[in-house]
Amino acid sequence: MSSRQESYPEIREAVRRLCADFPGDYWQKLDRDRAYPRAFVEALTQAGFLSVLIPEAYGGSGLGLQAATAVLEEIHRSGCNGGACHAQMYTMGTVLKHGSEAQKQAYLPKVASGELRLQAFGVTEPTAGTDTTRIRTFARRVGDKYVVNGQKIWISRAEHSDLMVLLVRTTPREDCAKPSDGISVLLVDMREAVGNGLTIRPIRTMLNHATTELFFDDLEVPAENLIGEEGKGFRYILSGMNAERILIAAECIGDGRFFIDRASAYARDRSVFGRPIGQNQGVQFPIARAYIQLAAASEMVDKAARLFDEGVDGGTEANMAKMLASEASWYAADMCVQTHGGFGFAEEYDVERKFRETRLYQVAPISTNLILSHVATHVLDLPKSF
């Protein structure tokens, strides 16, 4: 994968050096125990890699999404996983773009230093699924507080966050002019909320992702924790979702490069029938195909990140980047398992773990069908199906 002119070479080199301290056996043990990679997250925080998107005025390095994609791509290419903390990079974007100056001053410098972990993003609900306007978690204004009742599912890192950006209804859907009206964003202080109206229940999944279910039972949130205007929250989270899709696409590119690196090395070394397996075109061609698909997807990720940094509405490009990258990484994952034969299934090779991890990204944070539907109806002007 050396022909590509890589962006941010110094950042990439520094991330690679950091990741070298967290080799496969570190991740294998966490995976077995379903444990959180505290030491890895701490090292990334100390090195400043999680605050690249926070402006310098609030203590971050003020770089753009393109730099952030370089960080996450290298983490994943190294065999590590940014899923434990990538949201620390972008969840603060809702506060940065739509919060008051007082909220920015209160939270962003501490998020930048790592003193506060703002890495839980509560959107998905069991009955709404992808149809976000049908969320039912409701925040009722009572004096200077909101009282929250409802349920969320698949909320990652909730147990490892001090703050959560929470999407709630403040007006019932049927009383709104548009389904996306009447939705608001609250910043929930998890340290106060847990045990006082918020219950977190971990969900065991096929990968170690610290994801959970949340139950709200008369949780009180100070009204001053409302981000922006009441009822306008749906619009606020959209640009954050674009950032999330682009960053996760970069993780897929990193995963794909990991699989291609590993498969190429193994195909050169492993000798069967008296020659390296990589000498057989039946083994070479899938690796070459994975490389070509990944190179194309990578161009789209770069374009989407550039548009985001330029402030251009690049929602379609963010979606296309996520879809192409997640499909390219999945093809590469499957190819890598096949190239390794039996060893593709052995824990100590890390291929099976990365295979499980990269599968997530065709479903979360948005599934492929919804991206196809977006392009069909918003770009190609085909009739809406729902």
Ligand X SMILES: Cc1cc2nc3c(=O)[nH]c(=O)nc-3n(C[C@H](O)[C@H](O)[C@H](O)COP(=O)(O)OP(=O)(O)OC[C@H]3O[C@@H](n4cnc5c(N)ncnc54)[C@H](O)[C@@H]3O)c2cc1C
* Residue positions annotated with a catalytic role: 244
- Taking the least distance from each CB to ligand X, the nearer of 126 and 172 is 126
Closer by beta carbon to ligand X, 298 or else 362: 362
Count of all residues that appear for the chain in the document:
386
Burial track 340-373 (b if 16+ CB lie within 10 A, e otherwise): beeebeeeebbbbbbbbbbbbbbebbbbeeebeb
Residue 141 backbone phi and psi in degrees, to 5: -80, 125
Q: How far is the CB of 193 from ligand X (least distance, A)?
A: 16
Are 359 and 353 within 8 A, CB to CB? no
The binding site for ligand X (CB under 6 A) comprises 121-124, 129-130, 154-156, 205, 209, 211, 360, 363-367, 369-370, 373, 386
> Please, which residue, 210 or 267, has the CB nearer to ligand X?
210
For residue 199, the cross-strand partners are 215
In 3-state terms, what secondary structure has residue 280?
A: coil
- Unique residue bearing structure tokens 């977006």: 374
Long-range contacts of range 10-14, CB-CB < 8 Å, 24 or more positions apart? 11/49, 11/67, 11/70, 11/71, 11/74, 12/70, 12/73, 12/74, 14/47
Least distance from ligand X to the Cβ atom of residue 88, Å: 12
Q: Provide the 8-state DSSP code for 6.
A: -
Cis check: omega of the bond before 179, within 30 degrees of 0: no
Q: How far is the CB of 129 from ligand X (least distance, A)?
A: 3
Taking CB atoms, the residue at the shortest distance from ligand X is 129
The nearer residue to ligand X, 154 or 330, going by C-beta atoms, is: 154
Shortest spacing between CB 278 and ligand X, in angstroms: 34
At residue 232's C-alpha, the angle toward residues 229 and 234, to 5°, is 140
Residue listed under structure tokens 């498969």: 263
Min dist. Cβ of residue 317 to ligand X (A): 19
Classify residue 382 by its DSSP letter. P
Instruction: State the sign of the Cα–Cα–Cα–Cα dihedral 144, 110, 77, 73.
Output: positive
Which residues in the chain belong to E strands, given as ranges? 118-122, 138-142, 145-156, 163-169, 183-189, 198-202, 211-222, 226-227, 271-272, 275-276
CB of residue 114 vs ligand X: minimum separation in angstroms?
Answer: 19
Contact between 84 and 30 (Cβ < 8 Å): no
Shorter beta-carbon distance to ligand X: residue 15 or 190: 190
Residue 14 or 364 with smaller CB distance to ligand X? 364
Instruction: Give least dist CB 217 to ligand X, A.
Output: 19
Burial class (CB in 10 A: 0-12, 13-18, 19+), 287: buried
Nearer to ligand X among residue 66 and residue 119 (C-beta): 119
Minimum CB separation of residue 244 from ligand X in Å reads: 9
Q: What phi and psi, each to the nearest 5 degrees, are found at residue 105? A: -65, -40
Q: What's the token pair of residue 228? A: 């922006």
CB closer to ligand X, 88 vs 156:
156
